[in-house]
Amino acid sequence: MRHVNKKRYYEFSQDEMKALEECDKESFYRRCLPFSTLFATLTAAAIKLGFLRGNPHFGAVPKVMVAAFLGYVSGRVAYVQQCEARLRELPEDSPLGRLMRRYHAERNPPPKK
């Protein structure tokens, strides 16, 4: 019986790691941070103006923290398309780039004439 040396995990190339790190950094600064700040500020203002009620024991903190977390998640989700586009631009020899190009082509077929 022949022994096949299979990898148990995928090793990202330098280009792939760079693209993923840039996506992570850009999504945080361009979407997560602004969305979290906006959501938390609007929630704090709504509590202060009486549109929302603060917690009797903790005040506005729980709602503001939940709003900031929802802003963070919304920011990550809002940046997914930009990250997918960046991964599709990886070199032809990148398995991740090929996978993302195939994924995109399957979900965005060319228009029929």
Confidence of residue 77 (pLDDT cuts 50, 70, 90): very high
Confidence of residue 111 (pLDDT cuts 50, 70, 90): confident
Residue-wise pLDDT for 14-51, tens only, equals 999 999 999 999 999 999 999 999 999 999 999 999 99
CA distance 51 to 36: 19
Residue-wise pLDDT for 95-104, tens only, equals 999 999 999 9
Cα–chain-centroid distance for residue 54? Answer: 30
Query: Which residues are CB-neighbours of 80 under 8 A, at least 6 positions away?
Result: none
* pLDDT above 80 (res 6): no
HEC sequence for the chain = CCCCCCCCCCCCCHHHHHHHHHHHHHHHHHHHHHHHHHHHHHHHHHHHHCCCCCECCCECHHHHHHHHHHHHHHHHHHCHHHHHHHHHCCCCCCHHHHHHHHHHHHHCCCCCC
Confidence of residue 8 (pLDDT cuts 50, 70, 90): confident
* pLDDT above 70 (res 68): yes
